[in-house]
Amino acid sequence: MGKTKTGAYIPLPAVPLVLVGANVRGRPNYLPVGFVAGVNAEPAVVCVGLNKAHHTTAGILESGTFSLNVPPAGLVAEADFCGLVSGREADKSRLFTTFYGGLGTAPLIEECPVVCECRLVGPKVEFAMDTVFFGEITQVYVDEGLLGPGGRVDAAKARPFVFCGLENRYRALGEELGSAWSAGKGLLKAL
């Protein structure tokens, strides 16, 4: 089967969707972001790409902190809504119960089963539309119901979903396909 050139765009079929939280002039604001990834494991550092015009961007610069809130499948509508309306026009924090952690200025969403607070580190990298911010994760908070034996976080219980940008759709996670660092062991002999 041959391949066809289809232009220049972000071709990732499924990415995480987090609500990035920041206080803007003292009020919590939340923005759904699919431009998010870990970039360093120890210390734990993430990056987010945010349009320069976003209200949330101003809040991150104001406080030097932000949060990532992982919405469960039951909050698809709320997460999507946060991308339809700017914090300049509506108080999106009214959709959620906000709490604060050790950093004190990164608003966290009680209704999201997995949340974390971050402090800005590294450079701010500017591209044509977006600024990339790096955040060192200082603490992750999870619902007690997610904790399994030995304090292990059972992420599947958080009912996470992904954003499928090419389909313009949100999807739940599906069947298990194998264990990481293990599924490929059978090929060790092949090479």
Q: How far is the CB of 136 from a copy of itself (least distance, A)?
A: 8
The conformational region for residue 48 under phi > 0 = left, psi -120 to 50 = alpha, else beta, is beta
Nearer to a copy of itself, 26 or 179 (CB): 179
Nearer to a copy of itself, 149 or 190 (CB): 190
Which listed range, 19-27, 54-62, 124-132, lies at the site for a copy of itself (CB under 8 A)?
A: 124-132
Q: How far is the CB of 26 from a copy of itself (least distance, A)?
A: 18
Looking at residue 22, its amino acid is: A
Q: How far is the CB of 33 from a copy of itself (least distance, A)?
A: 9
Of residues 9-48, those binding a copy of itself (CB under 8 A): 9-16, 18, 34-47
64 forms part of the interface with a copy of itself (CB under 8 A): no
Nearest CA-CA partner of 59 in 98, 20, 91, 16: 20
CA atoms of 142 and 151, how far apart (whole Å):
11
Q: How far is the CB of 61 from a copy of itself (least distance, A)?
A: 17
CA atoms of 144 and 122, how far apart (whole Å):
32
CA atoms of 94 and 21, how far apart (whole Å):
13
CB contact at 8 A, 140 and 155: no
Residue 84 has φ and ψ, to the nearest 5°, of -90, -20
Q: Which residue among 19, 54, 134, 149 contacts a copy of itself (CB under 8 A)?
A: 134
169 forms part of the interface with a copy of itself (CB under 8 A): yes
Which listed range, 21-29, 53-61, 66-74, lies at the site for a copy of itself (CB under 8 A)?
A: 66-74
CA atoms of 25 and 13, how far apart (whole Å):
36
94 forms part of the interface with a copy of itself (CB under 8 A): yes
189 forms part of the interface with a copy of itself (CB under 8 A): no
Cα dihedral across residues 22, 102, 36, 45: positive or negative: positive
97 forms part of the interface with a copy of itself (CB under 8 A): no
Q: Which residue among 80, 86, 100, 103 contacts a copy of itself (CB under 8 A)?
A: 80
